[in-house]
Amino acid sequence: MGNGDCTERVSKMSGPPHLGVWVGIGAFAALAVDVALLCFLGVSQASIALAASCAARVAFVFFWLTYAGGAIPVFFGLTVGSPLTRRRREFGLAFAGALTVHLCGVAWLFLVSPRQPISNAGIVYFGIGALFTFALAISSFNRIQTLLRPWAWWLLNLIGLEYIAYLFFLDFIRGPFSRGNISTITYFPFAILILTAPMLRWAAKIWRWLRPTESAA
Ligand code: HEM
């Protein structure tokens, strides 16, 4: 077997070789924001909490692109081969990278806070979300994907992504709404994005189901 064949086979099994780089891109983006913030504000319990929240927002941008980004080409008449559709898997990996930075910030917050910074129920809900994130990231490598039955992979994607979207909904809408700060700049744009995401995603899915040949053109 020639070297070319071998490389092609490895690539088919594990996905494009650059795939892992996207985890680094996501982690680096979140880390850059956090380091800048901590340099500017200094290290304190409040600034660590802010850094954890900022990393979660960076993660959210990548999540939005993987969750709803594929809908944009459908509505703007772009081709299915548009980067927003093709790179959904990469955005998902970048989300996992940035979320890891969020979790490191949260772990640091636990260490410096006199009181547990999140309720036990919150730890369970958000812990499940983190597990989904890493399960989705690992299963997006072709080698792992081939171990799963197609319906199991489809179900993991469906439930995992909807569950994580729900967690962002809790953080960007339910939380600030009950505290009365939904209209602030740190929440309002994110609230709009998380509200529009499921609408775009499901409208695009229904559109594709109804007109499969047109969207595949
Ligand atoms: C997929 C999983 C997760 C998502 C989508 C997520 C999302 C978020 C978001 C959006 C924020 C910012 C909230 C705001 O600004 O009001 C946040 C903050 C926070 N998260 Fe997470 N998170 C996840 C996992 C976790 C886990 C597993 C823990 C703890 C075990 C955790 C603990 C915290 C804490 C303590 C804060 C508050 C930081 C502060 O005091 O401002 N998160 N999270």
pLDDT for 79-124, tens place per residue? Answer: 656 777 788 899 999 999 999 999 999 999 999 999 999 999 999 9
Give, for ligand 1, the residue of 48, 57, 102 to mutate: max count of ligand atoms closer than 8 Å to Cβ.
102
Give, for ligand 1, the residue of 58, 104, 123, 126 to mutate: max count of ligand atoms closer than 8 Å to Cβ.
126
77: left (phi over 0), alpha (psi -120 to 50) or beta: left
Tell me if 53 CB under 6 Å of ligand 1: yes
Q: For residue 152, is pLDDT > 60?
A: yes
Give, for ligand 1, the residue of 44, 100, 171, 179 to mutate: max count of ligand atoms closer than 8 Å to Cβ.
171
Domain limits, the chain:
18-216
pLDDT at residue 4, rounded to an integer:
39
Which atom of ligand 1 is nearest the CA belonging to 110? 35
Q: CA-based Rg of the chain, rounded to a whole angstrom?
A: 19
The CA-to-CA distance between both ends of the chain, in Å, stands at: 36
Tell me if 64 CB under 6 Å of ligand 1: no
DSSP 8-state symbol, 15: -
Query: Which of the residue ranges 4-8, 16-20, 54-58 has the most confident prediction, judged by mean pLDDT?
Result: 54-58
Q: For residue 2, is pLDDT > 60?
A: no
Nearest CA, atom 40, ligand 1: 49
pLDDT at residue 132, rounded to an integer:
98
Among the listed residues 134, 139, 136, 141, the one whose alpha carbon sits nearest the alpha carbon of residue 13: 141
> What are the angstrom distances between the C-alpha of 166 and each of 111, 176, 186?
27, 15, 18
Of 12-26, 60-74, 83-97, 159-173, the poorest mean pLDDT is in 12-26
pTM of this prediction?
0.90
pLDDT at residue 16, rounded to an integer:
59
